[in-house]
Amino acid sequence: MTLTLAPPPETPVEPVTEVLHGVSVTDPYRWLEDQNSPRTRNWLGEQSIYTHKYFDAISGRNRIRTRVRELLSVPSATEPWKVGDQYFYLKRFQDNEQPVIMTKKGLHGRESVLIDPRSYGGISASVAIATISPDGRFLAYTIRRGGTDHASLEILDLWRNTVLPDKLPEGICTGIAFASDATGFFYAHRELHGPRPNRCAAFWHSFGTERSQDRVVFDAGEKPNLFLGILYSSEAKLLIYDLFSTGKNPSSWIYLSGPSPEATPKLLLHHGGSYFIPFWVRGQLLAFTNSAAGQATMRSRWRSSLLS
């Protein structure tokens, strides 16, 4: 039987035009971005009623619901992070929609829950591991609410079993690395409602201080389509600032720095027209790249930088 419904509730079109990076962009539904306005809430209610009428009439819906419930009853876990003899990983328990952050000592150690996303707003909240300090003391994790692209970041001190007051607000964190002496961390974070949302920079934060006191340790400006990552090697005792641009003419820059806020980053590689994705392996710097000649160039400059 064909399912027939009346047309969906009308959505008023009220265009708003802005110029972004020199391009005129028109948004016909800007008014819907105010999710707390009575008008938007009324629109959501009407759409929800209409949607339920449609799905409630589908004959196989109960069969689909039963199958989804069966799949959710199967526990799953992600590949673990190993720091010393401690393992950290995400695990979804039976009938839970979102995984929790777990830890255990050794392969056969007793599991314990570190972070449960339900404490951050019910089933719509999710958590993920951002990074772990080399000594296994600090766990940085992101909290995402309602499936948004942006997230906030918190830090758990595992030795004291407490969440630190040192946090990053809603935004997109593209890199974070803890100092080996446990005095603070380096980070690159684009704050959602910050005064300079496109700024591409790395900062140093000392534990126990306000974010307004954070020091800029690397600044790439505010050009569009520019992104910055941070990688730290406890074996090499070196930081990498991984800068790249997207678009028709991609470029990669890799800067090498000591693990101190006072250190001056040195350009290790600049390659136009291709990407380099660096990563540390036991103190050695390697990279994935779509340039066949680029990897050899990177290795050569990496060695010369260490010797200088």
Q: Which of 222, 308, 238 is nearest to 278 (CA)?
A: 238
pTM of the complete model beyond 0.85: no
**What is the per-residue DSSP string for 226-249?**
EEEEEEEETTTTEEEEEEEE-SSS
Residues 246 and 225: beta-carbon distance below 8 Å: yes
Q: Scan for tokens 């720095």, then name that residue.
A: 257
Q: Rounded to an integer, what distance in angstroms lies between the CA atom of residue 20 and that of residue 87? A: 45
* 3-state SS, residue 28: coil
- Upper half-sphere CA count for residue 163 (Cβ side, 13 Å): 10
Residue 304 pLDDT grade (very low, low, confident, very high; cuts 50, 70, 90): very low
Q: What is the pLDDT of residues 15-54, one digit of tens each?
A: 999 888 788 899 999 999 888 899 999 999 999 999 988 8
- Domains of the chain: residue spans and CATH: 16-59 (no CATH), 165-307 (2.130.10.120)
Q: What is the pLDDT of residue 228?
A: 95
Degrees (nearest 5) of the Cα angle 210, 239, 165? 20
Q: What is the pLDDT of residue 308?
A: 44
- Upper half-sphere CA count for residue 74 (Cβ side, 13 Å): 5
Q: Tell me the C-alpha to C-alpha distance, in Å, between residue 201 and each of 67, 136, 141, 177, 204.
A: 47, 26, 20, 14, 10
Q: Rounded to an integer, what distance in angstroms lies between the CA atom of residue 24 and that of residue 288? A: 36
Indicate if the alpha-carbon torsion angle 45, 46, 49, 52 is positive or negative: negative
Q: Rounded to an integer, what distance in angstroms lies between the CA atom of residue 175 and that of residue 271? A: 21
- Which letter does DSSP use for residue 46 in this model? H
Q: What is the pLDDT of residues 112-138, one digit of tens each?
A: 999 999 998 777 899 999 999 999 999
Q: Rounded to an integer, what distance in angstroms lies between the CA atom of residue 285 and that of residue 170? A: 31
Give me the mean pLDDT over the 94-120 stretch: 90
Report the mean per-residue pLDDT for the chain: 87
pLDDT above 90 covers a percentage of the chain that reads 56
Dihedral pair phi/psi, residue 101, rounded to 5°: -90, 125
pLDDT above 70 covers a percentage of the chain that reads 92
Residues 6 or more apart in contact with residue 38 via CB below 8 angstroms: none
